[in-house]
Structure 1
């Protein structure tokens, strides 16, 4: 028998990942480096967080805390700090020994949750547009992705254009095969913050249809309009909700990759069963530092929010002056824009051309959609940068496009 040729062999990449190439963030960041453009595409701050928190990590390193494998669930100090945070901020009581799990960032927490809770054939409903790792994690678990689209209210909205959830569309998406709802609020990339009334309706639906829910709340402290209310705080939801957050967005140490899960002992045990075969443990010394960060006074969180609010307003005004249709950002550190007022309609082409045209990098929202036509005219900019950087970016966009 003749040997099998390379073209006859099964593809090397797992078929479940075949639809996913290099992330848009890697592509656009590489474009920023190549062109020298200002990178407002990838959502990472260009300054470090509090010096006291950084010094806490240095102190842990020097004291030999976390330099070897930390406990699988996370160091006790951090688990206790997470439990105290949930109780103080939201009145949610969790046992730090049985109901808190530390992960390698929120991305691992999401992957481990979906790998643990979803089996082939299960349907997972996600709000579209969604962070790109959602789709990959659902695929790895063998689940079926069911997007429910957040839709723009358009320029005639008296409060300004924003993205809203159609609760009827969400209800209609639930079938007998639906296993889990995957929610993100405050929502990346649209900047939407689900209201208390919307969350109450989602909770009623989850209880009625006996659904599990995984909530991505990493932007919980970056809310400018409205309030952040954890879904787990609604009746019947604590026992069916896996709540995920992380330190990166709140404390501006995204490279540390410290995230966490809070849930019932049964749900935490399930997630830990998957997580232990991913990283096992990570970020030992940083866990001690994040424990101290979570205990920072309320003034820190207020100042963070107000600083980012000012940067949001600066960027949003500059984008509007340059001719973009600017959507209202209630939370996160992103502004979504409509490029159709500029005479454009293809976000991919626009973003690939923008670095050469204006010296600025953005991200096309269509990469976050299954229904890419729905996201085609929308482009996302990040404002978690120094004010001088945002001012220069706005000036460049105004010169090139205005």
Structure 2
């Protein structure tokens, strides 16, 4: 009897996915002593006490059952009021808002709800590392549109239009952007909107960092004329409210699309954690002062850190939002990977190589300034010492 060849059980699609470049550097840094980590995109603030207390109270009162699949109606009503108050967009809490397990799940649901096999989804790079894999897992084809440091990573509508084909279904934009911190202005969003209308496209707008916008009033893509019916608005509580570990996000979209996302959510997740939803309810009701204090703290750190990067010879634009600096390391002659690895090994400063965010990130590194000012000052000292040796 001939020995049978063992089957390959892992999906070819999954086998072809690259592991997260961010996680690789984080794991390496965590195995070393004395490392200053500027790598992981997470607030260094503890979730506000009023939010934690609300969640604890929900447990003490025995609210430990499932909620509605779409989330607590009371929370969805607060989200609708929040979106109306902050971003001037109106959504029906009953049919157009879905509470998810983090904003990442909301993006996954959005893609799976709209993509047919072979549909193209345009991703504006540099981009969050999850977008491309999630498009692939949904059966779509990711198409990159590059931005450049010379333009402060603003999207050029001409480049976007060149990437559109008959198979294009949607565009993913992130503003404020991870990893560059760039905020798309209303004028730039309006140019994207006109292209979406002309080519009958959807826009998946990842606005998780909207609360961390430092200059002027934030413009949501859904608030641009004609775009509410073409936009799947993604946001959540992780960044602005310092609730990363709570894993709570939300999506707002037209009824037809939102209900398709809800179908998948019902089967895959049932509902978001109940106690986290009660915490989020309190965040929306009383958390704005704490958010403002965190935003002001990040602004001060941004100003110091970006100025210092430029002083030591790493050119960096001033990001308009999020908590990332994206300096160029091109003057060193090293690749992004080489620079990040050597900086970690030689000076114990962890950053993320820009190439993990797409080809247009090569020649840059992402540094999170969601660290204490003392740590940022020490990191700059070590980076300056590293550059002097080069």
TM over 0.5: yes
The question of 1:387 aligning with 2:385 is answered no
What is aligned with 2:357?
Answer: 368
- Indicate which of 120, 123, 131 corresponds to 1:123: 120
Please list, as runs of the form range in 1=range in 2, the aligned pairs for 1:263-282 lying within 5 A after superposition: 263-282=253-272
What is aligned with 1:58?
Answer: 56
Deviation, 1:344, is: 2.9
CA RMSD of aligned residues (A): 1.6
Match of 1:250, SS state, is coil
Match of 1:17, SS state, is helix
Write out per-residue CA displacement over residues 85-114 of structure 1, whole angstroms, 9 at most, x where no aligned residue.
011112211111111100000000000110
Change (3 A) 1:297 1:21: closer
Report if the CA contact (8 A) 1:113-1:274 is conserved: no
Write out per-residue CA displacement over residues 177-225 of structure 1, whole angstroms, 9 at most, x where no aligned residue.
1111111111111111111111111111111111111110000011113
The question of 1:40 aligning with 2:26 is answered no
> TM-score by structure 1 length?
0.92
Match of 2:239, SS state, is helix
Deviation, 1:141, is: 1.0
Please list, as runs of the form range in 1=range in 2, the aligned pairs for 1:1-400 lying within 5 A after superposition: 2-6=2-6, 9-10=7-8, 12-36=9-33, 37-65=35-63, 67-153=64-150, 162-296=152-286, 298-341=288-331, 343-369=332-358, 372=359, 374-400=360-386
Write out per-residue CA displacement over residues 108-129 of structure 1, whole angstroms, 9 at most, x where no aligned residue.
0000110111011111011011
Which shifted more, 348-357 or 137-146? 348-357
In 1, the alpha carbon distance for the partners of 2:141 and 2:30 equals 36
Deviation, 1:252, is: 0.7
Report if the CA contact (8 A) 1:112-1:271 is conserved: yes
Report if the CA contact (8 A) 2:87-2:218 is conserved: no
Match of 1:281, SS state, is coil
What is aligned with 1:158?
Answer: none
In 1, the alpha carbon distance for the partners of 2:92 and 2:385 equals 55
Deviation, 1:297, is: 6.0
Q: Which runs of 5+ in 2 are unaligned?
A: none
Q: Which runs of 5+ in 1 are unaligned?
A: 154-160
In 2, the alpha carbon distance for the partners of 1:278 and 1:255 equals 20
Report the count of equivalent residues: 387
